[in-house]
Homo-oligomer: A and B are copies of this chain.
Amino acid sequence: MNDSALVTDETRAKIREVAARMWYTPHGAARSLITRRTHTIGVLLPDLYGEFFSEVIRGIDLTAQHSGYHCLVSSARHDGPRLEAALRSMRGRVDGLVLMSPEFTGELSYRTLPGGFPVVLLNCPPSELDCDSLTVANYEGAYAMVRHFVGLGHRRIALINGAAGNFDAAERRRGYHVALRDAGLPAMPELEIQGDFTEESGHAAALALLALADRPTAIFAANDCMAIGALSGLRDRRVLVPEDIAIGGFDDIPMARYVVPALTSVHVDISALGEQAAGRLLAKLHHPANVEISRETHPTTLVVRKSCGAQNGSSSVSASTPPRRSVV
């Protein structure tokens, strides 16, 4: 026996000694079969490529490990049947789930998991599923970026949009639109280029914008990868940044401060996002009674660097209220 008050310290010590001598190790699967707890949380990500996911998973694992939990990860485009398969294969191996799926339509699932199975949705579009969810302040961040451009006197501000069907991309686009409207500027469809979050698409988008008769004076890319691609596209065409065209990105990946000129971006504390998600899940696991579900938004911060032409150094401005928490 492992830890109980019904046993003498002496006996416990003796057992421990023998166990150590025989290199006895409890069998996880057997134990969890009767205990009904695996001390493992499942992590379902759409992909594992790039600094974003790396940081998310790091934050999750950090928090999980702190509470003695493991992470069972699975990365794949969790669309429809794939998600269902992934969920089923995790049945009996995890106590709860962190599911990140920005393209998740939400129509399915929930039949597949046993009722009341603890799930935290990360960066998922809002759905009728009644489970906890956590999103990034995409709208607020994009709004702050565009407002910043407007404040610098820009009137023709282009958008390199994120992947089609992606929730984060849609929210950032919404922020862009509302900021333009609030500044009394008209929507300019010809200045919106569809991208897919990759560097190549950013590069192509920049060239497309340069081909316009009436060029933009500023470009807001929906993530840093595309902003960096755009940067190299402009350099290819000998267009000066920020003198001729200003650029801003989103995510503030570590690389952002090293490109030339250093990239103005919307900072997201990705690792903290992961920690928060895992924290919520663990709280649910430890207090299953507390059934109220929460929907939180993780704050973003505008980080001003050289690429937008505002200043030389770097400074940051909060792009949203502090950790907003609305318990529904």
Interface residue ranges, A against B (CB under 8 Å): 23, 25-33, 38-40, 48-51, 53-54, 57-58, 61-62, 65, 70-76, 88-93, 111-112, 228, 254-255, 258-260
Contact = CB atoms under 8 A, between A and B. Distances in A.
Contact of A89 (B28, B50, B89): B28
Nearest to A50: B54
Contacts of A23: 111-112
Nearest to A88: B25
A58 B51 contact: no
Nearest to A271: B49
Nearest to A90: B28
Contacts of A31: 92
Contacts of A111: 23
Contacts of A254: 255
A61 B40 contact: no
Given A40-B72, A51-B54, A71-B72, A92 B61 contact: no
A200 to B, nearest CB: 13
B51 A91 contact: no
Given A30-B33, A33-B29, A70 B74 contact: yes
A39 B92 CA distance: 13
Given A25-B91, A89-B28, A91-B27, A61 B74 contact: yes
Contacts of A71: 72-74
